[in-house]
Structure 1
Amino acid sequence: MVTFRNAMATDLCEIVQMLADDVLGQERERYENPLPDSYFDAFESIDADRNNELIVACLDGQIVGVQQITFTPYLTHQGGWRATIEGVRTAASERGKGIGSKLIQYAIDRAKARGCHIIQLTTDKKREDSLRFYERLGFTATHEGLKMKL
């Protein structure tokens, strides 16, 4: 049975390994031993922020998935809250077993519990399988997202 919990600093090596375990992730991440301090700094900021949750999925005590959920208040939609899902990854050995779906359902349940009126995410256009995955779970591409690297 897959269980979920808040990530701990001791989980960072496994988390970064999952984030780096694909073509796009290899370009962005630095999975090395020891991990760069930037990962620990980011973890501390996330962990200290009550509107951020870094969640790991565990199976038989092993981390098999990760996602970050950020809760943001907005003035739009009459001052409603939104949840944003980022950094969703499933361990390569566990892909195709429903863990990703369970991760997203967990995020949806957390968003509902926090009173969010919408949950949103982005996926790289190069990740065509991910786009189909999210659409199967009920997400729709209603907006065109833009980013600027700084």
Structure 2
Amino acid sequence: MLNNDQVRLIQEHELQGLLHLYKYLQPDDSELNPADVQIISLWREMLDDPKMKIIVLEQDGQIVSSCVLVLVNNLTRAGRPYAIIENVVTHELYRRRGYGAQVIKEAIHIAEQSNCYKVMLMTSSKREETLRFYEECGLEKGKKTGFIKYFGG
């Protein structure tokens, strides 16, 4: 879809770069060690999952924007899957350049090509600028009401 060879699926050797980018998504999270055996195992499991796509945009030799697309099998809508976009983040020094929009649009494209009947994204942001950004990516607000429950840990 995109004529930008910088937008692509993540590669196995890029775990450390992704973890660095995630500092801009959840700055209060404790830092994960990319050499930790459990983290490596989780990483490989994620990469091997055909229903999970980690989309990245590389600029200046580093991952500067990313989102995760998860395809979910479904027994409604004639058995068509649906998709969820999560963990949308752009490095703070690379914002307002369209990189976030590119990874989201690629996720939407993959969902459509995977015969999904819809793709959903939730945001905790209430900022009008953020909501408008997602609308400009082709997503509609106000169609559903989201609920969430967090668990400790």
TM-score tier (shorter):
0.7 to 0.9
Q: 1:33 to 1:47 in 2, by over 3 A?
A: closer
Whether contact under 8 Å (2:6, 2:57) holds in the other structure is yes
Q: 1:31 to 1:9 in 2, by over 3 A?
A: farther
Please report how far the alpha carbon of residue 82 of structure 1 lies from its aligned counterpart in structure 2 after TM superposition. 1.0
Does residue 3 of the first structure (1) align with residue 6 of the second (2)? yes
CA distance in 2, matches of 1:97, 1:91: 11
Does residue 146 of the first structure (1) align with residue 140 of the second (2)? no
1:102 corresponding residue in structure 2: 102
Please report how far the alpha carbon of residue 144 of structure 1 lies from its aligned counterpart in structure 2 after TM superposition. 1.4
* Residues 1-150 of structure 1 mapped to structure 2, 5 A cutoff: 3-21=6-24, 25-27=26-28, 29-31=29-31, 39-126=39-126, 128-141=128-141, 142-150=143-151
Q: 1:39 to 1:145 in 2, by over 3 A?
A: farther
Q: 1:10 to 1:126 in 2, by over 3 A?
A: farther
Whether contact under 8 Å (1:20, 1:30) holds in the other structure is no
CA distance in 2, matches of 1:104, 1:34: 25
Partner AA of 1:70 in structure 2: V
Residue ranges of structure 1 left out of the alignment (5+ in a row)? none
CA displacement, residues 99-118 of structure 1 (integer Å, 9 cap, x when unaligned): 01111111111112111111
CA distance in 2, matches of 1:116, 1:135: 19
Q: 1:125 to 1:35 in 2, by over 3 A?
A: farther
CA displacement, residues 48-98 of structure 1 (integer Å, 9 cap, x when unaligned): 111111122112432111111111111222221112111111111110001
Residue ranges of structure 2 left out of the alignment (5+ in a row)? none
CA distance in 2, matches of 1:131, 1:34: 33
CA distance in 2, matches of 1:19, 1:4: 17
RMSD across aligned positions (CA)? 2.3
Whether contact under 8 Å (2:7, 2:102) holds in the other structure is no
Please report how far the alpha carbon of residue 46 of structure 1 lies from its aligned counterpart in structure 2 after TM superposition. 1.1
1:26 alignment partner, SS class: coil
Partner AA of 2:130 in structure 1: S
Runs (4+) off by over 6 Å = none
Q: 1:19 to 1:126 in 2, by over 3 A?
A: farther
Higher alpha-carbon deviation: 113-122 or 137-146? 137-146
Higher alpha-carbon deviation: 107-116 or 37-46? 37-46
Number of matched residues? Answer: 147
CA displacement, residues 13-41 of structure 1 (integer Å, 9 cap, x when unaligned): 2212222225xx122x2236666655434
Work out the percentage of aligned pairs sharing the same amino acid. Answer: 27
